[in-house]
Amino acid sequence: MDIVVCIKRVPATDTTIKIAADGKSIEPAGVSFELNAYDEFALEQALRIKEQLGSGTVTVVTIGSKDAQKELRDTLARGADKAVLLTTDQWVFDGASTAAALAAWIKSVPCNLVLCGRQAVDSDNNQLPANLAARLGFACVTEVAKLELADGTFTAERDIEGAREVVTCKTPAVISCQKGLNEPRYANLKGIMAAKKKPLEEAAASLPAPALEIVSLTLPPARAAGKILGTGVDAVPALIAALRDEAKVL
Amino acid sequence: MSNIVVIAEVRGGQLKRTSLEAVTAGLQLAQKSGGKVIAVACGAGLDAAAAELAKSGVHKVVAVDGPTFANYSGDAYARAIAEQVKAAAATAVLMVHTAMGKDLLPRVSALLEGSVVTDVVEVSCDGGTFGARKPVFAGKATMTVNAKKAPFCATLRPNNFAAAEGSGSAEVSKTAPPAGDLLSVVKEVIASSGGRTPLQEAKVVVSGGRGLKEAAHFKLVEDLVAAFGPGVAAVGASRAVVDAGWRPHREQVGQTGKVVSPPLYIAIGISGAIQHLAGMRTARTIVAINKDADAPIFKVADYGIVGDAFEIVPALTKAIAEIVAGK
C-alpha cells in the first residue's frame, strides 16, 4: 500500500502566543516549533500498516516554509521512506486552499491511503482530512481512535457525543488520527543516521487563490483576577454563596 | 439576496438540540444578507425532526429521507447536501461543530469549492461578505476572517448561540437520497455506559488533575458531577492524568483534548498548565480547588479555595446535592 502522511510544523503547545505588529499573525521570535502532536499518531499508524502488510511505501508531505525540513527529517528518522516539502512563505491557515494544494499533489503520486492528524494545533480547524477526501473522491473516517485493516477493509472507531461509532471503508481512503490510536515511536540513532540518506524533495505548493483572508488576530481578553475565598472546608459555604448569589450558576 | 443553508443533525430520528443553535446563527446571517434560511436534514424517518425544524423559525425544511441514509455516511450525506445548497442558491452553509459537523461540512465545502472555517463563535455578514471569528491555538488567540469564496461554510462551537425557539410553520419538502455508492458506512453506534453527558454540551464541567494522586480518587469528581443531577455535569481531566492512563482521552480538556466553555467549570487538583488553561478559559465561571496557593489555575479562577481536595470536595458535593434536592 502506498501511504501518504500529511504533517504540519506548529508552535509547541507550551508556547505563549504574542501577536505580531501586523495584527494578523503571531510574533515568531522566541517560539519553538514542533511536529503537530496528532500527526505523530498518523505517522505511527502508517508505519504499522506497512509493517503489517510487509510491503508498501510511506511518504510524508507538508506545506510550509523551508524550516519544516527539520520536522520532515524527523519523520524520516522514525521510519518514513520519503519526504516532500511543498513550499510557501504564508501561514497555512486557509483549510480549503491547503486541501486543494495537497489534493493536486496527491493526484500526481501513487497513493491508496492518506493519514493525517485530526487537526493542527495552530489553526485548530479539524477540517483538512474530510475536505481532502472529498476532493480526491476517497472514502474518509475522521478522528479515529482505533483502526484495524483486514482483507482490504478498514474498521475504524471514533468517539461521537455520548457514543462510539464503528465505521468501515475500503481504499482509497483518508483517515484522520485521534490521540489514543497508538503509541508513537521516536527516532533512534540508527534511524537518524539512515534519514540523512533518504530523499527529501521540494517543490512549490500550488495554492489556489485564497478562500479566506485574515482580518485580525487578537489575544482573548484577560480574565479579571479572582478571589481566594479561604482555605479548607470552612470556605465551602462562601463558595456556594458566591456561585448562587454572585455568579448565579446554581 | 443570499440564502443560508443550516444543516441539522439527526441521530436515530431525533433532532440534536444543538442544531437549533445553528438555526439562530442562520437567522442572524439571513437578516443581514436579506436571504432565507433553509434547514436540510439527512436520515431515515425524519418526519418528527422535520416538524420540529419547521417550527424553529426557518423559512423551509428539506428532509433527504430514505433507508440508505439510516446510518451516517459522510461522503453520501455530503453529496446530498451539496445538491440542496445548489438548489437553494445558498451562499452560506452552517452546522454545529459536533463529531458529525466536523466530518461533514468540510466535504460539502470541498464539493462546492467554497471556503471553510470551523469552531466559530461569531458569524457576520457585512456588505455581502461573510465573516467569522474563531479561537486558534486552542483559545490562546482569536482569529477573525472574511470569506473570499462562496459558499462560506462554517461550523459553530456548541453552547455559544442560543437555541432557536420559534413558533413558525415552514414548508417541509421531502426528497429521496441521491443514488450512488456509499464509500464509508457506520456499522454500529455503541452508546457509552450510564448515559454520560457529553463534555462539550455539559452545563457544568468538573475536572480532576494529578492532585487527586491516583485514578481511584476520581470518585470524588464523579460524585460531585452526580450531585448536579442527571444530564447537567460531565467529568473532565487534565492531560497529565490522561497520559497516565487514569482517564480516557475523550475527557481531556486542553490543547490536545477538548475546548469547553460551560457556564461553570470546577478544577480540582489541577495546577493549570498553559495547555489546560487554553481549553477552559472561556468558561463563564471558574472555580479552582488546589493545595498550592501559587498554582497558575488561581490566576484564571473566579473563585478559589486553597486546601486539601479530599476534605473540600465531599463538603462541596454535599452542599450542591442539598441545593439540587431543594429545587
B304–A94 CB contact, under 8 Å: no
First and final C-alpha spacing in chain B: 48
Cell of A11: 508552535
A240–B316 CB contact, under 8 Å: yes
Nearest to B147 among A212, A225, A233 (CB): A212
Number of Cβ within 10 Å of residue B215's Cβ equals 13
* Chain B: closest CA distance from residue A196 (Å): 31
CB of A214 less than 8 A from some CB of B: yes
Q: Do the first three CATH levels of B2-175 and B193-326 match, i.e. the same topology?
A: yes
Tell me, letter by letter, the H, E, C secondary structure of chain A: CEEEEECCEEECCCCCCCECCCCCCECCCCCCEEECHHHHHHHHHHHHHHHHHCCCEEEEEEEECHHHHHHHHHHHHHCCCEEEEEECCCCCCCHHHHHHHHHHHHCCCCCCEEEEECCCCCCCCCCHHHHHHHHHCCEEEEEEEEEEEECCEEEEEEEECCEEEEEEEECCEEEEECCCCCCCCCCCHHHHHHHCCCCEEEEECCCCCCCEEEEEEECCCCCCCCEEEEECHHHHHHHHHHHHHHCCCC
* Chain B: closest CA distance from residue A202 (Å): 26
A17–B141 CB contact, under 8 Å: yes
Chain B residue with minimum CA distance to A97 = B115
CB of A145 less than 8 A from some CB of B: yes
* Chain A: closest CA distance from residue B27 (Å): 22
In tens, the pLDDT along B112-143 reads 999 999 999 999 999 999 999 999 998 889 99
φ, ψ at B54 (rounded to 5°) = -60, -25
Distance of alpha carbon A224 from alpha carbon A208, whole angstroms: 43
Q: What is the DSSP letter of A233?
A: G
What topology does CATH give the domain B2-175?
Rossmann fold (3.40.50)
In tens, the pLDDT along A36-53 reads 999 999 999 999 999 999
Helix (H, G, I), strand (E, B) or coil at B314: helix
A211–B116 CB contact, under 8 Å: yes
A140–B285 CB contact, under 8 Å: no
Nearest to A166 among B143, B188, B299 (CB): B188
The A residues from 41 to 80 touching B (CB cutoff 8 Å) are none
Tell me which CATH homologous superfamily contains domain B193-326: TPP-binding domain (3.40.50.1220)
Contacts for B12 with CB less than 8 Å, ≥ 6 apart: none
Evaluate whether B37 touches B7 at the Cβ level (below 8 Å).
no
Per-residue pLDDT, B195: 67
Chain B residue with minimum CA distance to A174 = B184
| A2-6 and A113-117 strand pairing | parallel
Q: What is the DSSP letter of A19?
A: B
Evaluate whether B43 touches B49 at the Cβ level (below 8 Å).
yes
Tell me which CATH homologous superfamily contains domain A2-204: HUPs (3.40.50.620)
Cell of B175: 426528497
CB of A164 less than 8 A from some CB of B: yes
Q: Which residues of B178-212 are buried (b: 16+ CB within 10 A; e: fewer)?
A: eeeebbbbbeebeeeeeebbbbbbbebbbbbbebb
Per-residue pLDDT, B196: 79
A239–B114 CB contact, under 8 Å: no
Q: Residue B3's beta-bridge partner residues? A: B90
Per-residue pLDDT, A91: 83
Domain ranges across chain A: 2-204
B108 CB neighbours in chain A (<8 A) are 134
Per-residue pLDDT of chain A (250 residues; tens, 9 = 90+): 999 999 999 999 988 999 999 999 999 999 999 999 999 999 999 999 999 999 999 999 999 999 999 999 999 999 999 999 999 988 888 999 999 999 999 999 999 999 999 999 999 999 999 999 999 999 999 999 999 999 999 999 999 988 999 999 999 999 999 999 999 999 999 999 999 999 999 999 999 999 999 999 999 888 887 899 999 999 999 999 999 999 999 8
How far is residue A58 CA from its own chain's centroid? 17
The closest alpha carbon to B132, from B120, B116, B141, B142, belongs to B120
Identify whether A237 is preceded by a cis peptide bond (ω within 30 of 0): no
Sequence-ordered strand ranges (E) for B148-199: 152-156, 171-175, 184-191
* Chain B: closest CA distance from residue A199 (Å): 31
Nearest to B106 among A95, A164, A226 (CB): A95
Per-residue pLDDT, B139: 87
Per-residue pLDDT, B1: 66
* Chain B: closest CA distance from residue A58 (Å): 23
B138 CB neighbours in chain A (<8 A) are 13, 121, 124
Contacts for B130 with CB less than 8 Å, ≥ 6 apart: B29, B33, B91, B92, B123, B124, B146, B147, B152, B154
Per-residue pLDDT of chain B (327 residues; tens, 9 = 90+): 699 999 999 998 999 999 999 999 999 999 999 999 999 999 999 999 999 999 999 999 999 999 999 999 999 999 999 999 999 999 999 999 999 999 999 999 999 999 999 999 999 999 999 999 999 998 889 999 999 999 999 999 988 899 999 889 999 999 999 998 899 989 999 987 666 788 988 999 999 999 999 999 999 999 999 999 999 999 999 999 999 999 999 999 998 899 898 999 999 999 999 999 999 998 999 999 999 999 999 999 999 999 999 999 999 999 999 999 987
Q: Could you give the residue ranges of the DSSP H alpha helices within A63-178?
A: 69-78, 95-106, 128-136
Chain A residue with minimum CA distance to B250 = A159
Distance of alpha carbon A153 from alpha carbon A146, whole angstroms: 14
Cell of A206: 500550488
Nearest to B99 among A129, A135, A160 (CB): A160
The closest alpha carbon to A235, from B225, B285, B303, belongs to B303
CB of A104 less than 8 A from some CB of B: no
